[in-house]
């Protein structure tokens, strides 16, 4: 430091150029930086925040609060740089080293400011949309964006700091590219589930609490829609975890959309001998009574009735109501079937079991069919040869051609009992 101007003044007081003057000056500069940083933190920023409270939103207050600590840190870094470079006589290499450290610290301060502003803006956006049900996707998506954005900004800042410190980052960037490709290939299923989860949440087709049914037949209530998987609670009170990659490709039936109301469709049939006008009247009375008195029915929807077809045993018809939600639909359907059965029984309206009517030509009856079967001659049965047939045995045991019974009469060989007669 050039003390040409201050040397006469110091010499008058007998100070001259003492060796402690430069360290004292550096300490004074550092103390001034600390005092300024304290005043900025305790007085300047609270005053700015008070002025921002007059604005319609609190976004500016959040942004000012996010840069409070980085600005204070920047003031301290600047004070330390001035305290080292001004009073102390640094050589060329030392000055370059101090400049490099100061630039790296400045980059760190800038990165902290950017990350703070980004986080504050996203927090304000999430707090603004927290009470809006139609922005649930944003409440899930923006926290992920904040984390990913923060990691990206910190990564860029680290590369800039290394570049300022004269470290070649080209091999590092190339290695990061190859490593990123390898990691992407290794975690390809996870990335597929991540992007599929983004699609599922941004589509807004399902949400927590909806009762859904998948193409495979599995059904249940949606517990949570995450980035990797969707959790479903089945009727057996079991938790099923479905990867989002498979969840996004299957066919889904959502019983809560587009509205929670569920239609109740009941089919029935009455005998062909029934009075169809009476059947319709009784059915409409039952539905009207349910719509007016049941808490499970949707009154504004009304009720519908129509005959459908001539069935094999009955004249088929259908009844149509609407329940408030899926749980109410079970109660409403059960009450409709029970009341309809009771009213049909009271009015002698028959619901046939499956029956068939056989019609025969004139002159035919069950008795004539049986008589015809007994008088019809049967064809002769073909003769069969026994399995143990033996011609020799038949010759010895059976009658011969002259009708002589076996064991009696004269033997062909001589006497009645053999060649020599009785012994």
User: Token pair 């009271």 is at which residue?
Assistant: 346
Count the helix, strand and coil residues of the chain and give each as a percent rounded to the nearest 5: 55, 10, 35
| Between residues 327 and 4, the one the model is more confident about | 327
Q: Thinking of the domain 262-346, which architecture would CATH place it in?
A: 2-Layer Sandwich (3.30)
User: 234 is written with which tokens?
Assistant: 């089945």
CA proximity to 264, closest of 209, 234, 301: 301
Q: Of 12-16, 101-105, 193-197, 248-252, which gets the smallest average pLDDT?
A: 12-16
> What pLDDT is stored for residue 91 in this prediction?
76
Band (pLDDT 50/70/90 cuts) for residue 284 is: very high
Kindly report, residue by residue over 203-245, the tens digit of the pLDDT: 777 888 888 888 888 889 998 887 778 889 998 889 998 888 8
> What pLDDT is stored for residue 337 in this prediction?
95
For the chain, give every domain's residue range.
12-186, 205-254, 262-346
What share of the chain has pLDDT > 70, as a percent?
74
Q: What is the mean pLDDT of residues 343-372?
A: 76
| Between residues 245 and 356, the one the model is more confident about | 245
Topology adopted by domain 205-254: SH3 type barrels. (2.30.30)
Average pLDDT, the chain: 78
Kindly report, residue by residue over 360-384, the tens digit of the pLDDT: 777 666 666 665 555 555 566 665 5
Out of 138-147, 324-333, 371-380, the most confident range is 324-333
Q: What is the mean pLDDT of residues 232-261?
A: 86
Helix (H, G, I), strand (E, B) or coil at 271: coil
Band (pLDDT 50/70/90 cuts) for residue 345 is: very high
What share of the chain has pLDDT > 90, as a percent?
24
Out of 62-66, 147-151, 197-201, 331-335, the most confident range is 331-335
Out of 107-116, 189-198, 408-417, the most confident range is 107-116
Contact between residue 282 and residue 347 where contact means Cβ atoms under 8 Å apart: yes
CA atoms within 13 A on the CB side of 383: 1
> What pLDDT is stored for residue 292 in this prediction?
92
DSSP track, 84-117: HHSSS---HHHHHHHHHHHHHHHHHHHHHHHHHH
Gap between the Cα atoms of 197 and 200, Å rounded: 5
> What pLDDT is stored for residue 132 in this prediction?
55
Q: In the predicted model, is pLDDT for residue 151 greater than 90?
A: no
Q: What is the mean pLDDT of residues 125-144?
A: 64
> What pLDDT is stored for residue 109 in this prediction?
92
Contact between residue 198 and residue 235 where contact means Cβ atoms under 8 Å apart: no
Backbone angles phi, psi at 61, to 5 degrees: -65, -40
> What pLDDT is stored for residue 409 in this prediction?
45
Q: Of 76-85, 106-115, 187-196, which gets the smallest average pLDDT?
A: 187-196
> What pLDDT is stored for residue 84 in this prediction?
84
């Amino acid at each position: 430091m050039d003390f040409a101007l201050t040397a006469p003044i110091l010499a008058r007081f007998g100070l001259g150029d003492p060796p402690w003057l430069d360290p004292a000056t550096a300490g004074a500069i550092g103390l001034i930086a600390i005092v300024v940083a304290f005043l900025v933190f305790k007085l300047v920023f609270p005053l700015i925040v008070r002025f921002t409270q007059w604005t319609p939103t609190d976004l500016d207050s959040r942004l000012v609060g996010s840069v409070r600590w980085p600005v204070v840190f920047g003031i301290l870094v600047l004070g330390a740089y001035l305290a080292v470079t001004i009073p102390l006589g640094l050589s060329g290499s030392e000055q370059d080293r101090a400049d490099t450290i100061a630039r790296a610290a400045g980059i760190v301060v800038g990165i902290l400011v950017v990350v703070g502003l980004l986080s504050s803006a996203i927090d304000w956006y999430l707090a603004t949309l927290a009470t809006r049900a139609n922005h649930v996707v944003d409440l899930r998506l923006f926290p992920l964006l904040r984390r990913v954005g923060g990691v990206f900004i910190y990564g860029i800042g680290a590369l800039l700091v290394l570049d300022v410190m004269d470290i070649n980052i080209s091999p590092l960037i190339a290695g990061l590219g190859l490593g990123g490709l390898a990691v992407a290939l290794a975690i390809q299923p996870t990335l597929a589930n991540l992007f599929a989860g983004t699609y599922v949440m941004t589509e807004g087709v399902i949400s927590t609490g909806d009762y859904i049914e998948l193409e495979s037949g599995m059904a249940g209530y949606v517990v949570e829609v995450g980035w990797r998987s969707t959790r479903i609670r089945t009727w057996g009170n079991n938790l099923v975890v479905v990867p989002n990659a498979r969840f996004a490709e299957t066919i889904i039936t959502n019983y809560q959309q587009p509205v929670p109301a569920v239609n109740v469709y009941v089919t029935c049939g009455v005998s062909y001998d029934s009075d169809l006008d009476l059947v319709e009247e009784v059915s409409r009375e039952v539905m009207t009574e349910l719509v007016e008195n049941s808490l499970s029915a949707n009154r504004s929807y009304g009720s519908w009735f129509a005959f459908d077809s001539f069935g094999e045993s009955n004249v088929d018809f259908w009844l149509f109501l609407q329940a408030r939600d899926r749980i109410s639909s079970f109660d409403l359907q059960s009450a409709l079937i029970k009341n309809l059965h009771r009213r049909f029984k009271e009015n002698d309206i028959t619901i046939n079991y499956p029956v068939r009517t056989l019609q025969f030509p004139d002159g035919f009856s069950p008795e004539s069919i049986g008589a015809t079967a007994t008088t019809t001659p049967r064809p002769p049965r073909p003769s069969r040869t026994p399995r143990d047939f033996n011609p020799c045995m038949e010759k010895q045991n059976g009658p011969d051609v002259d009708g002589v019974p076996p064991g009696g009469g004269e033997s062909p060989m001589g006497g009645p009992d053999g060649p020599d007669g009785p012994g």
